Structures are given as structure tokens and as C-alpha cells.
């Protein structure tokens, strides 16, 4: 899969700025061009998740809490039909419901997502 050279640049972005490499509002710590971060940087760690309080995408909750002045809040259940996950490979957004019902692949570009993210489900999506 890794046929194109990836930019080595890792960026840390703090509010009110957002990372201009992404079309959606996104920030975090040492974020690479496919949304891997200082905390999760294995090859399949290519999703960013949206905070229920500030509606901004972050590679992980630790990124959020490092740069934000409020704790990360799970995406609220009544908004599960709105985008809450961003694929770092193609930049497409995915609704919470499609992501949670999916098979750990991007429905747009078929990039493999880390299935281990599900272990942290309650951190990111309201029960």
C-alpha cells in the first residue's frame, strides 16, 4: 500500500488554530499527514475522532486533553448520524453509526483502521 512517500512532518496544533492539511477542523500533538499522533502512531492508526463538546477532530483523547481547556467528551448518541470520525488517509468523514457498525475499514478508500480502537469505544462514543 505504501507506494507514495509520506511527508515526515508532524505538527502540534493548539486552539484556536486548526491543522490546515485537513479540510475539517482538526488538531493534536505531533500529528502526521494521516492523523497518527504522539500517542498512537502504528500504521493503522489513521482515524481522528470528534469531541462532543467542541466538535473538533483529534487523533485521540490524549491529544485533545493536551491542547484543550476542557476534557474530551464522547460523541453524543443523538448525533450518531452526523460525522464523528475522520479517515486520515482520504480525509472523508464517517458518521458514528457507520463507523461503529463497520468492519474497521474506511467506507471510502478501504484503508484499514486499527480494530483496537474499539476497546476505547466508551471514551469516544456515548453509550
Chain residues that interact with Zn ion, rule: CB under 5 A: 37, 39, 51, 53-54, 59-60, 62-63, 87, 89-90, 106, 108-109, 111
- Calculate ∠ Cα 17-118-9, nearest 5°: 35
Of residues 53 and 98, the one with the C-beta less far from Zn ion: 53
Q: Is the peptide bond before 16 cis (omega within 30 degrees of 0)?
A: yes
Backbone angles phi, psi at 93, to 5 degrees: -100, 150
Strand order in the sheet with 83-87: 57-58, 47-50, 83-87, 93-95
Shortest distance, CB of residue 127 to Zn ion, whole angstroms?
Answer: 19
Shortest distance, CB of residue 8 to Zn ion, whole angstroms?
Answer: 18
Of residues 77 and 109, the one with the C-beta less far from Zn ion: 109
Rounded CA-CA distance 91/79 in Å is 20
Of residues 38 and 80, the one with the C-beta less far from Zn ion: 38
Of residues 62 and 98, the one with the C-beta less far from Zn ion: 62
Shortest distance, CB of residue 89 to Zn ion, whole angstroms?
Answer: 4
Shortest distance, CB of residue 81 to Zn ion, whole angstroms?
Answer: 19
Rounded CA-CA distance 59/82 in Å is 18
Amino acid at each position: 500500500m505504501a507506494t507514495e512517500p509520506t511527508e515526515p512532518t508532524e505538527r502540534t496544533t493548539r486552539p484556536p488554530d486548526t491543522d490546515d492539511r485537513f479540510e475539517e477542523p482538526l488538531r493534536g500533538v505531533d500529528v502526521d499527514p494521516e492523523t497518527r499522533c504522539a500517542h498512537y502512531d502504528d500504521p493503522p492508526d489513521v482515524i481522528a475522532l470528534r469531541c462532543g463538546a467542541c466538535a473538533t477532530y483529534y487523533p485521540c483523547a490524549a491529544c485533545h486533553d493536551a491542547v484543550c481547556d476542557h476534557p474530551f467528551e464522547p460523541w453524543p448518541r443523538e448525533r450518531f448520524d452526523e460525522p464523528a470520525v475522520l479517515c486520515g488517509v482520504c480525509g472523508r468523514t464517517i458518521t458514528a453509526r457507520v463507523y461503529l457498525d463497520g468492519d474497521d475499514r474506511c467506507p471510502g478508500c478501504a484503508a484499514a483502521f486499527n480494530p483496537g480502537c474499539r476497546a476505547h469505544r466508551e471514551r469516544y462514543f456515548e453509550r
